Amino acid sequence: MKIAISNIAWEHKLLAQYLKFLKELGFSGIEIAPSIIWTEPTDSSIEDRKIFKDKIHKEGLEIIGFHALLFSRPDLQLFLSKKSRMATIDYLCKLIKLCADLGGKQLVFGSANNRKLHSRKYSECLNQAMEDLFQISEYGRKYNVFFCIEPLGPDETDFIQSIEEGGNIVNKVNHPFFKLHLDTKALFSTKENPNEIISKFKNIIQHVHISDKNLKEPGSINNSHRNIGNALKKINYSNFLSIEMKKPDNEIKKVITRSILYVKENYCITKN
């Protein structure tokens, strides 16, 4: 398995320094929260995108995709109104194009605050979402970019609150560019059985975030990562494992070093 890390883990102004450091540690790629790079990502120019992409590639790393898609856009609400729905879909499609320009392969749609039900019936929102997710994924097909739904725990969202729910929606939408994202933080929250749930949806899992509650350092709060690692090994998962953790208060490089060693030990398992 290849290991990446999200750019929320360090100071963006020190990007060049951290890229060299990450490569030396054995990371293969970085995952991008786009609003950290640009105040308004979709307004970035082709030249800006090329310059950023070249910086990553120069250090022998790749941009694997985006997450935290709507972090800076609380106004974009999927279920609030027809106007906000259309604006959200349009924005996500623009992010797909940006991701493709940078060489990324998937977008992870978590954005818990942007998928609130706003007192609407769940069944009504689900029917709308099935249409919207298909439409967005069809746009992703044009650029060879997967759109991945990120199930979250019930403490984080009121729409798609389990891996089971997310996997079933992916299967119902049935689009080749709409896939399931597995977040370990959510799996710890929902308490679903890793072996059972990962085996059940093995054919649609596109991407995996390694994270603990509150996006703390992997293994610092939740200590059952090896069970998930074993379950992923059983299905021969070979895409990226991406460490998703907030920037530590201090000793950032020390924490990142500890994190990749933890992931290698618990997920890149070579012995039974």
- What's the pLDDT tens digit per position in 218-245? 999 999 999 999 999 999 999 999 999 9
Question: What is the structure's pLDDT at 216?
Answer: 97
Question: What is the structure's pLDDT at 115?
Answer: 97
Q: How far is residue 81's CA from residue 12's CA, in Å, rounded to a whole number?
A: 35
CB 240 within 8 A of CB 8: no
Q: Is residue 71 part of a domain?
A: yes
Cβ-proximal residues to 269 (8 Å cutoff; 6+ apart), any chain: 226, 229, 230, 233
Q: Is residue 53 part of a domain?
A: yes
Q: Is residue 70 part of a domain?
A: yes
Question: What is the structure's pLDDT at 105?
Answer: 98
Q: Is residue 227 part of a domain?
A: yes
Q: Please write the tens of the pLDDT for every residue from 85-105.
A: 999 999 999 999 999 999 999
Q: Is residue 11 part of a domain?
A: yes
pLDDT at 271 over 70: no
Using the 8-state DSSP alphabet, how is residue 246 labeled? Answer: P
Residue span of the structural domain in which 86 resides: 2-266
Q: How far is residue 268's CA from residue 262's CA, in Å, rounded to a whole number?
A: 10
Q: Where residue 270 falls among pLDDT bands split at 50, 70, 90?
A: low
- Nearest CA to 1 out of 260, 256, 253 is that of 260
Return the number of other C-beta atoms located less than 10 Å from residue 3's C-beta: 21
% of the chain with per-residue pLDDT over 90: 97
Using the 8-state DSSP alphabet, how is residue 112 labeled? Answer: G
Number of structural domains the chain divides into: 1
Q: By CB neighbour count within 10 A (0-12 exposed, 13-18 middle, 19+ buried), where does 16 fall?
A: exposed
Measure Cα distances from 215 to 6, 9, 108, 142 in Å.
Answer: 11, 10, 16, 33
